[in-house]
Amino acid sequence: MDAAYDAILFDNDGVLTTPTDREVLIDAMHDAFAAVGVVDPPSEHVRTVMGPSVDSLREVADAHDVDPHELWTAREHAAVAAQLEEIEGGRKRLYDDVGAVANLDGVATAIVSNNQHETIGNIVSHFDLDWLDTWYGREPTVKGIDRKKPTPYYLELALEELDVEDALFVGDSWVDVEAADAAGVDAAFLRRDHVEGVGLPREPTTEIESLEEIPRLL
What residue segments make up the domains of the chain, in order of their start? 7-18+93-217, 22-88
Instruction: Tell me the pLDDT tens digit for each residue of 174-208.
Output: 999 999 999 999 999 999 999 999 999 999 999 99
* Helices assigned H by DSSP within 113-152: 117-126, 142-146
CB atoms inside a 10 Å sphere around CB 136? 21
- For residue 164, CA distances in Å to 64, 90, 144, 188 come to 46, 35, 24, 17
Task: Kindly state the average pLDDT of the residues 9-29.
Answer: 98
> If you average pLDDT over every residue of the chain, what do you get?
96
Answer yes or no: is pLDDT of 158 > 70. Answer: yes
What pLDDT score was predicted for residue 174? 97
Residue 102 has pLDDT above 70, yes or no: yes
CATH architecture of 7-18+93-217: 3-Layer(aba) Sandwich (3.40)
The two counts, helices (H) then strands (E), for the chain are 9, 6
Q: What per-residue confidence (pLDDT) applies to 193?
A: 94
Query: For 109-140, how does the pLDDT look when each residue is reduced to its tens digit (9 = 90+)?
Result: 999 999 999 999 999 999 999 999 999 999 99
For the 22-88 domain, the top CATH level (class) is mainly alpha
Mean pLDDT of 97-119: 96
Give the pTM. Answer: 0.95
What's the burial of 212, exposed, middle or buried (CB within 10 Å: 0-12/13-18/19+)? middle
The residues, any chain, with a CB within 8 Å of residue 185's CB and separated by 6 or more, are 9, 155, 159, 166, 167, 168, 169
Q: What pLDDT does residue 179 have?
A: 98
Mean pLDDT on 151-157: 98
